[in-house]
Structure 1
Amino acid sequence: MGRLIEKLKHWHTFAYFLIVYDFFAIGISYFLALWIRFDCVFSQIPKSIWDQYVDTIFVYAYITLIIYGVMGLYKSLWRYVSFYELRQTIYSVVLTGGLYYVITILFIGRFPISYHVFGIVFQFFFAVLIRFGFRFVTMLRNSYSTLKVKKNVMLIGAGYAGRMVLRDLNFVKVHDEKKDARIVCIIDDNPDKWDKCIDGVQVVGGRDSILAAVEKFKIDEIYIVIGTISSKDKRDIIAICRETDCVIKVLPARFGNTARMITAANLENITIEDVLGRAPINLKQEDVARQLRDKVVLVTGGGGSIGSELCRQIAKYEPKQLIIFDVYENNAYDIQLELRKAYPMLDLVTLIGSVRDARRIESVFATYHPNICYHAAAHKHVPLMEDSPCEAIKNNAVGTYKTAYAAMKYGCDRFVLISTDKAVNPTNVMGATKRICEMIIQTFDHMVRIHREDLLPALYTHHDDGENVGVTPGSGHTEYVAVRFGNVLGSNGSVVPLFKKQIAEGGPITLTHKDIIRYFMTIPEAVSLVLKAGANASGGEIFVLDMGEPVKILDLARNMIQLAGLKPDVDIEIEYIGLRPGEKLYEEKLMSEEGLKETENNLIHVAEPIKFDSDDFLDKLNKLMYVAYQNDAVETVQTIRDTVSTFTG
């Protein structure tokens, strides 16, 4: 904050200096014009014309300063001065000079024509001199500091963004920072720019010239500064750059379609998302907006990685009320603070509680009557759930059932379950419990459709929790859907945070198997597709998101080591520890018994659900709850096998 205040003070000081300078420069400009008109002899200036000059010049100067201010000549950062500032200066000088001529002719008297012509010329000269002179002196000063430069930089991208970074780095000395880098060559795929120079720096060729230019110019760092670039092109360019030992930085995508000032400070280190190169998902979300606007929306597990992103994206669609429900208070508090700052007008409610507590979850539905519920609360860590299968059942299966039951009982319009590809032919307890969650959703949807909600037991854990009150045949109208996707980058439980921690500790990175593969998607991508699928659901579907191409975890680990500026198997060892209990070499999107139906969106598909006996399933689920609350791990796993026919764990 202190540094910002100092910068503002510096900017105001320079603006005041310019105002004073312009005031005197205007007077001097027209004095010189008058002086030249009369052969540079002051005594030859007629007294009547001199009096007209004195009577008008101060008023003219004041008016000119106001017009300069309106045209933005006191707001620009003159170290970045460019054609825009030159154009504004020309407009301002011509406008003020023209007004001066018209007003004097109409109200004061005639000056010699040359007085106005030379006055405008001198006024423009002095206005440009101070402003462009500041940049020229800065450029000249920095041109002599080349020998002090410690890092040679290659700039990839000769567009608007690239030119801004070039000027910032080569011609601007950043305050309070020692300048130690300089752009010495430029790469651009447009052949029309090859062998030409931008601010004295040569465009040496396209991406095929990167490796040769790195060697020729002894490049230390590479800046990829392209405003709009496809994920494939970005990935390909990064792949070439990573063949060098250079530090690589990129312009974040948020600067892609902006005309704001871009500096070298805006560049960031490349991320694993950049390396994987997934194409951004651009969806038309009008249907999502229609579904969420002015609705009460509940997100269970709203403090988690997926739940919190759901809250962020839901908030921008102007819901009537957004309810964050989570058992972990720290996460819930963090997203609450973030959303209150970003959306101060949002009616935000943050509640602490567990979906395992029937009385608590029913009180939430009874109090707030949410129209839509996104159920993201779940235990997700595969190894931990292998060791605690009873807790997996209590939280994932029973918690989902109790939340789905409350949604039906209190008139929720739509219930969206966040599922996982680990539910497909599950080999671990976590995946099997998520498959049970999908079966719960299908059962609820089936019972609502045939108007037999009364056949759904309340599954209360304790006898005094309540009765099956208020649920009569035909009383429910909730639509139940599930959305299934794979791993998301950076989510709780994914390998990315684990690998980052292991790299920070100096290694080794522990990998279960050299051939293990996973599907990956960014959290915002996954959530946007969840919202899209939920908006287009009609009830009973299991939506499957297109996760793109699978990624070898070994390649992911190596990439992350290199992104940290280290060498795999040299600086950071990779150890293979063997597959953990219940872990697959690869994940599947569908069970063999399921078909896949297309939707209007090629990134979202619908699985044809496996048929099962709902009554038999409910009996087994009731038994599952009983053995889980008896904390009988062996019997719980066996009952899971009896319940989920595809479970092979």
Structure 2
Amino acid sequence: MVLTTDVALLITAYFLSRYLRFDALHLTQGTNHYIAVLLVILAVKLPIFYLFGLYNGMWRYTGFRDLQRIVGAALVSSSVIITIMTLVDRFHGYSRGVFIMDAVFTILFISGSRASIRMALHHSALRREDRVVRLKRLLVIGAGDAAEKATREIDDNPTLAYEVVGFVDDDPAKAGLRIHRIPVLGGVDDLPEFAAQTRADELLIAIVTLTGPQMQRIVELCQQTGLPYKVLPGLGELINGRVSVSSIRDISYKDLLGREEVTLDQARIGDTLRGKTILVTGAGGSIGSELCRQIIRFAPSRLILFDSSEENLYAIQMELLHEYQVADAVPVLGKVQDVRLLDMVFSRHRPQVVFHAAAYKHVPLVENNPWEAVYNNIFASQLLIEAVIRHRVERFVLVSTDKAVRPTNVMGASKRLTELLMLAYARNSWDGGFSPAWRRVPETAEPATYRAEAPHHDTRFMAVRFGNVLGSSGSVLPLFKRQIELGGPVTVTHPEITRYFMSIEEAAQLILQAGSMGGDGEIFLLKMGEPVRIDQMARDMIRLAGKEPDVDIKIRYSGLRPGEKL
């Protein structure tokens, strides 16, 4: 069917070109002459179209790349035809203008036929979909690139049960314009009015670079409409950087936090990680697992997942395998304190970069179990630091916390001691000693030797400090969410308590950035922005759930816990 249509279109293109060139078909040379020319055109163009893949595509998905192939096939085939005419008869009796116009009409006709096929199939699918399910009328907040991509995906995919009915945007220059024939209705402040006017069923926030106050304003306007609303995630959450309707999710508190988008030095991080063997301790934890997701963007040769939790380790391994097609990640189940296991892992896999994210970090639990903090946060880190020196690892990045600054609790003190250990083992500070635990390990390889002149070994050490991470293990957000689901009360320790927050994605990205920048023995302090009142956070989360604080959900103040400060 497609081949027959192309033959008819190619014949039409040639005769139309002659007609426009001579204001008539100009058949003075006889019918056989034109039949011979047409046979040459068809004999050249159809095989070249086939070689360019114009007959093995699924035309319901025609796009810009298909147009590129059509243009390329038309230009190449026309060049071949002109070359043949020149070699056979030195182009005597032929008009070059006819063949140039023929190439242009070929591109227009073939492209138009493919676009018509796509439109016909698309509308047919939409009619079938309409008979099965009623499409939700979607009003999109934002009229930028993200909104356009989301709209195009909705339009192209009939399985998505949405119909975009309009856009609202704060840019007055966009009012009255159209995106894919859909109007930009006006400003965001008039959202309730436009929602009623378009009879929208749902709202989509499609602006990926909003600040916290901007998001709070939009959420309040969405709540005024009484309609369900969702959001496209920020670019920091998109591992591949591509906006997709499949990424749409409910509003979360981190959207209201509105941290500025992290701008990474991709080239520098790539130089540090690309083609290297990377080991992540605590790989199944909240921060460790996000580190793994971010690391695979930079194509390491191998990723080693080290964790003591069987469930967490299995979860991140399966996620990397099935969602990111990372089939060669190496799971290591065990404790960092096991020196024999450490030595075996480093001897077998030879990691070149180590990210140490394994630690106990829940302040009240560690306060009640201080020796576990010593064993897990301090002793384990010391053995790992010594392992990276013994096995000549290039870089070691310690994930620390702002609670290590003038610590008032056991957890903060244990992390500060870990930082001091790292500084003591730095290339210019190390005295050449190892822990007695290494005497129990057989020498499977020649360990690094102490050099009298600095640098005393080959490993670069650095630490990264940051505050609370939203949604991480031990974070207050999951607790608040669960308490709201149960109908309250939401427990806050003190009405004036404040904390610095960042998202898990931002934390992982900044760890990678610091790891690529560090020289040796440096501690990086991440810019945390303004502190957040926990009481206000609880109230915002209650409102996000469609409830009213102190009316539908009570807030109860429980008092500061052991080791906690305002």
Instruction: Give the TM-score normalised by the residue count of structure 1.
Output: 0.66
1:402 maps to 383
2:368 maps to which of 372, 387, 390: 387
2:508 maps to 527
1:422 maps to 403
Partners of 1:450 and 1:36 lie apart in 2 by 85
Matched, 1:547 2:528: yes
1:458 maps to 436
Partners of 2:211 and 2:56 lie apart in 1 by 36
Paired AA for residue 205 in structure 1 = G
1:490 maps to 471
Offset at residue 58 of structure 1 (A): 4.8
2:139 maps to 154
Structure 2: where are the runs of 5+ without partners? none
SS of match in other structure, 1:374: strand
Relative to 1, partners in 2 of residues 1:508 and 1:198: Cα closer, same or farther, differing over 3 Å? Answer: same
Paired AA for residue 380 in structure 2 = G
What does 1:222-371 align with in structure 2 at a 5 Å threshold? Answer: 222-226=203-207, 229=209, 231=211, 235=215, 238-239=218-219, 241-244=221-224, 245-253=226-234, 264-265=245-246, 267-284=248-265, 286-292=267-273, 297-315=278-296, 322-337=303-318, 349-365=330-346
In the alignment, is the contact (CA less than 8 A) between 2:141 and 2:203 conserved in 1? yes
In the alignment, is the contact (CA less than 8 A) between 1:415 and 1:481 conserved in 2? yes
Offset at residue 377 of structure 1 (A): 1.8
Relative to 1, partners in 2 of residues 1:161 and 1:91: Cα closer, same or farther, differing over 3 Å? Answer: farther
Relative to 1, partners in 2 of residues 1:120 and 1:509: Cα closer, same or farther, differing over 3 Å? Answer: same
Offset at residue 279 of structure 1 (A): 0.9
Taking only the aligned residue pairs, the percentage that are identical comes to 34
Deviations 1:296-328 (A, max 9, x none): 554332332222333444455566765433222
Partners of 2:350 and 2:27 lie apart in 1 by 87
Partners of 2:269 and 2:101 lie apart in 1 by 63
In the alignment, is the contact (CA less than 8 A) between 1:509 and 1:572 conserved in 2? no
Relative to 1, partners in 2 of residues 1:114 and 1:557: Cα closer, same or farther, differing over 3 Å? Answer: same
SS of match in other structure, 1:154: strand
2:183 maps to 202
What does 1:35-46 align with in structure 2 at a 5 Å threshold? Answer: none
Partners of 1:369 and 1:125 lie apart in 2 by 59
Relative to 1, partners in 2 of residues 1:230 and 1:111: Cα closer, same or farther, differing over 3 Å? Answer: same
Offset at residue 269 of structure 1 (A): 3.7
Partners of 1:351 and 1:257 lie apart in 2 by 27
Relative to 1, partners in 2 of residues 1:571 and 1:185: Cα closer, same or farther, differing over 3 Å? Answer: farther
Partners of 1:257 and 1:400 lie apart in 2 by 32
Partners of 2:272 and 2:399 lie apart in 1 by 18
Relative to 1, partners in 2 of residues 1:295 and 1:184: Cα closer, same or farther, differing over 3 Å? Answer: closer
Matched, 1:22 2:6: yes
SS of match in other structure, 2:265: coil
Offset at residue 493 of structure 1 (A): 1.9
Deviations 1:157-179 (A, max 9, x none): 4445544544565x66715x6x5
Paired AA for residue 581 in structure 1 = R
Partners of 2:110 and 2:394 lie apart in 1 by 70
SS of match in other structure, 2:506: helix
Partners of 1:410 and 1:172 lie apart in 2 by 53
Partners of 1:55 and 1:45 lie apart in 2 by 13
In the alignment, is the contact (CA less than 8 A) between 2:410 and 2:563 conserved in 1? no
Paired AA for residue 492 in structure 1 = S
| Count of residues in Structure 1 that have an aligned counterpart in Structure 2 | 552
Relative to 1, partners in 2 of residues 1:103 and 1:267: Cα closer, same or farther, differing over 3 Å? Answer: farther
Partners of 1:485 and 1:551 lie apart in 2 by 14
Deviations 1:373-409 (A, max 9, x none): 4322211223332333332222122222333344455
SS of match in other structure, 1:378: coil
In the alignment, is the contact (CA less than 8 A) between 1:104 and 1:110 conserved in 2? no
Offset at residue 569 of structure 1 (A): 4.5
In the alignment, is the contact (CA less than 8 A) between 1:238 and 1:275 conserved in 2? no
What does 1:603-618 align with in structure 2 at a 5 Å threshold? Answer: none
Offset at residue 523 of structure 1 (A): 2.4
In the alignment, is the contact (CA less than 8 A) between 2:232 and 2:247 conserved in 1? yes
Partners of 2:487 and 2:184 lie apart in 1 by 39
Partners of 1:557 and 1:414 lie apart in 2 by 40
Partners of 2:104 and 2:429 lie apart in 1 by 87
In the alignment, is the contact (CA less than 8 A) between 1:155 and 1:162 conserved in 2? yes
1:174 maps to which of 145, 158, 162: 158
Partners of 1:49 and 1:257 lie apart in 2 by 64
Instruction: Give the TM-score normalised by the residue count of structure 2.
Output: 0.74
Partners of 1:116 and 1:406 lie apart in 2 by 73
User: Is the deviation greater in 398-407 or in 124-133?
Assistant: 124-133
Relative to 1, partners in 2 of residues 1:162 and 1:436: Cα closer, same or farther, differing over 3 Å? Answer: closer
Offset at residue 487 of structure 1 (A): 1.4
Matched, 1:131 2:109: no
Partners of 2:274 and 2:240 lie apart in 1 by 31
Relative to 1, partners in 2 of residues 1:548 and 1:75: Cα closer, same or farther, differing over 3 Å? Answer: farther
RMSD of equivalent CA atoms: 5.3
Relative to 1, partners in 2 of residues 1:27 and 1:424: Cα closer, same or farther, differing over 3 Å? Answer: same
In the alignment, is the contact (CA less than 8 A) between 1:378 and 1:395 conserved in 2? yes
In the alignment, is the contact (CA less than 8 A) between 2:491 and 2:558 conserved in 1? no
Partners of 2:205 and 2:295 lie apart in 1 by 33
